[in-house]
A = this chain, B = another copy of it.
Amino acid sequence: MYMTQTLHRAARLHPTKLATIYGDRRTDYGSMQDRVSRFAGALRKLGVSPGDRVGMLSLNSDRYLEYYFSVYWAGGVVNPANIRWSANEIAYSFADCDTQVLLIDDQFLPMLGAIRELAPCVKTVIHCGDAATPEGLLNYEWLIAETAPCDDAMRSGEDLAGIFYTGGTTGFPKGVMLPHRALYANGLTLVTEGIDTRRFIGLHAAPMFHLADHAFTNALAMGGGTHVMLPMFNPQAVAETIAREKVNAAMLVPTMIQMLVDAPVTHQYDLSSLEFMLYGGSPIAEAVVDRTLALMPHVKMMQAYGMTEVAPVATVLPHEFHIGEGRQKGKTRSAGRPAMICDVRIVDTNDVEVPRGTIGEVAVRGPGVMLGYWNKPKETAEAIKDGWMHTGDGGYMDDEGFVYIADRIKDMIVTGGENVYSIEVENAVAKYPGVMQCAVIGIPDDKWGEVVHVFVVPHAGASVTIEAIQEHCKAMIANYKLPRSLEIIEALPMSGAGKILKNKLREKFWAGRDRKVG
């Protein structure tokens, strides 16, 4: 299994079919293969040897796709940078794995000085934007024009294909090493769900550095579909592009879907071509499903759950579970069932599978599982045991194999030797009439190790006491799960992605103490 297979096949079967659309620029599969083999030749001349990392710091474009394929073709390893990170974090991700060649677009040129200072390993910089190329940088198109095509290095299987940095919010980022086999498998995830990507005109509006979009990329490439790139998400641009290019498939995250369907301007465009919408990152609110299907009744939705370490899909929730009987059975709140080529189980801290309905850690085995974290053998050994990737997500599986994600394991509270998942407690507390929002954490306790502490944002004028909450929750959760203390708070601290920052909430209780997790 080699990542360039899809390009070889598409260029042979339909060389004149459009491979990419970016603004006014259109490239067919025959030309794309030619460009990729030339840029790969250029990378080799610049010293990229098999296994060498090549970085990318760019918004979406057709060249982002060419970058992926060219690096694979040259025998190198992709290292696409998270465009949301600071120069500091990005430089760390280049320096950590000794990335010597970097592609950068116009948008990120201003960051280049800082990055080179922090990551002096970056010796060669290729400008892949459309503005004038600054002095001292190589130009992407010149390299393609000047270089003869080279042969495909044909790296495959267990050969390293990419390092994807993840986890910037909890300490230093970790480089997830994915071999060709894992990235190829991620492309198969959609296809094995019966999604026919051959006829796809697929929109890249979510960032292409991220594996969520890369899985969509590879699924589309596998069918030899057409890729349409937008530099970044914007509801109007998405709607306008769908209408103009007759886009029929898109990968988005739930907040993007919400913005798309709620922006009045999108309703002015003809969105009737859109047939398939893949989303990931979190379950979707049922109201958003309804608004999406009201606007685009012809769309089939699919959720994919996973993480970079499993390249990235572990479970999928097909359209049928977003509506009708599937929704009535509560499946829309799940992350779906294990993808066809994946095995998923829920385990306790001794790595023993727990009964259905019991919360434990989600573990994933299959061809998508990473080789490990770059230069982090200890973290790798903790994450992968007997071939099972331990996701750090708490969740349970129902009798029909649907997986429900409850919590990050690190947010789990251990009190008197018992595991308490904060989501269970939060669900109970949230049902109390005076509670608008709440968050549960573990705070240190000399007797119990940790005890359950709840933060409550009350409705205006409501009075919420610990006694009332305990009384209210008793019928729903076991005694040891009941909050022991309560704190009224004006607003919960949130991340940019809308997640409650529990480490912020824990800070004052755990200052100077070491919290053992999981």
Which residues of A are at the interface with B, using a C-beta cutoff of 8 A? 1, 5, 8-9, 12-14, 154, 157-158, 181, 185, 188, 191-192, 194, 196, 222-223, 337-338, 340-345, 365-367, 386-387, 400-401
Asked whether A343 and B5 contact (CB < 8 A) given A13-B401, A194-B194, the answer is: yes
A8 CB contacts on chain B under 8 angstroms: 343, 365
Copies of this protein, total: 2
Using CB atoms, name the residue of chain B closest to A179. B157
A-B residue pairs in contact (CB < 8 Å), sample of 18: A1-B341, A5-B343, A5-B366, A9-B338, A9-B340, A9-B342, A12-B343, A12-B401, A13-B338, A14-B401, A157-B158, A188-B341, A191-B340, A192-B222, A194-B194, A194-B196, A222-B340, A223-B340
A12 to B363, CA, bound (A): 13
A81 to B46, CA, bound (A): 53
Q: Is B192 a contact of A341 with CB atoms below 8 Å?
A: no
A338 to B8, CA, bound (A): 11
A5 to B188, CA, bound (A): 15
A345 CB contacts on chain B under 8 angstroms: 12
Using CB atoms, name the residue of chain B closest to A386. B154
Q: Is A1 a contact of B367 with CB atoms below 8 Å?
A: yes
Most buried by B among A157, A337, A338, A341: A341
A340 CB contacts on chain B under 8 angstroms: 9, 191, 222-223
A400 CB contacts on chain B under 8 angstroms: 13-14
Q: Is B188 a contact of A192 with CB atoms below 8 Å?
A: yes
Chain B nearest CB: distance from A219 CB in Å? 10
A196 to B1, CA, bound (A): 23
A196 to B194, CA, bound (A): 6
Chain B nearest CB: distance from A73 CB in Å? 14
A374 to B123, CA, bound (A): 48
A201 to B304, CA, bound (A): 27
A13 CB contacts on chain B under 8 angstroms: 337-338, 400-401
A191 CB contacts on chain B under 8 angstroms: 191-192, 340
A343 to B33, CA, bound (A): 14
Known contacts A12-B343, A154-B387; can you find 19 more A-B pairs with CB under 8 A?
Answer: A1-B181, A1-B185, A5-B343, A9-B338, A9-B340, A9-B342, A9-B343, A12-B338, A12-B401, A13-B400, A14-B401, A154-B386, A157-B157, A157-B181, A188-B341, A191-B192, A191-B340, A192-B222, A223-B340
A196 CB contacts on chain B under 8 angstroms: 194
Chain B nearest CB: distance from A183 CB in Å? 13
A181 CB contacts on chain B under 8 angstroms: 1, 157, 181
A154 CB contacts on chain B under 8 angstroms: 386-387
Contact of A341 among B5, B194, B344 (CB under 8 A): B5
Chain B nearest CB: distance from A399 CB in Å? 10
A338 to B338, CA, bound (A): 28
A338 CB contacts on chain B under 8 angstroms: 9, 12-13
A222 CB contacts on chain B under 8 angstroms: 192, 340-341
The 7 closest A-B pairs by CB, nearest first: A13-B401, A1-B367, A8-B343, A191-B192, A9-B343, A194-B196, A194-B194
A343 CB contacts on chain B under 8 angstroms: 5, 8-9, 12
